[in-house]
């Protein structure tokens, strides 16, 4: 539940700061919650995906898609499924350890790129099928860039916060 609340809260913050830079329905030039999607999936796997899905259904119902329940359910599902699938692909293709022991900045960036592209393509395919968007290539490209930019911002913000925390000393 905490993942859903955090995701929704960052969605609200993203809307406040970047609402004027939206490209189309569900597509932003900068989408900070995508960074949480990636972090929650890497850390919490299935429970992270469920939290993301729950928050995304809530967001889609109250802020997008005007009560179209099938579109809302699909968008919510894809919001949690795409990063989960990206994680599985990274474990298989990039030899990512399931416990993230071998996670390097370069691997994290590859994961972020894969996640951003996979998420945007799956979402835009769904939106084309549901009649939400008309231009798959433009919307998928902008969504991938917005997800990647949002992910990079969140990851660097997290790195900055972690750098401020005191380091535990081994006695």
pLDDT of residue 24: 60
Distance of alpha carbon 150 from alpha carbon 162, whole angstroms: 18
Q: How does pLDDT run across 95-119, given as a tens digit for each residue? A: 888 888 888 888 888 889 999 999 9
Q: Is the pLDDT of residue 152 over 70?
A: yes
Distance of alpha carbon 30 from alpha carbon 54, whole angstroms: 22
pLDDT of residue 20: 65
Contacts of 128 (CB under 8 A, 6+ apart): 134, 136
Q: Which residue has the higher pLDDT, 163 or 170?
A: 163
Specify the pTM.
0.85
Q: How does pLDDT run across 20-45, given as a tens digit for each residue? A: 666 665 567 888 999 999 889 988 99
Contacts of 93 (CB under 8 A, 6+ apart): none
């Amino acid at each position: 539940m905490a993942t859903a609340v955090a995701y929704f809260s960052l969605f609200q913050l993203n809307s406040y700061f970047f609402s004027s830079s939206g490209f189309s329905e569900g597509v932003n030039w900068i989408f900070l919650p995508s960074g949480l999607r990636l972090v929650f999936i890497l850390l919490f796997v299935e429970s992270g995906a469920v939290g993301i899905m729950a928050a995304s259904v809530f967001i889609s119902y109250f802020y997008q898609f005007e009560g179209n329940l099938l579109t809302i359910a699909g968008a919510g599902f894809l919001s949690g499924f795409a990063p989960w699938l990206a994680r599985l692909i990274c474990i298989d293709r990039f030899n990512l350890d399931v416990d993230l022991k071998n996670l390097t900045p370069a691997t994290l960036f590859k994961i972020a790129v894969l996640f951003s592209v996979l998420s945007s393509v799956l979402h835009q395919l769904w939106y084309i099928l549901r009649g939400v968007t008309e231009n798959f290539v433009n919307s998928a490209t902008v969504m991938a860039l917005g997800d990647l930019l949002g992910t990079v911002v969140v990851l660097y913000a997290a790195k900055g916060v972690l750098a401020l925390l005191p380091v535990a000393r081994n006695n």
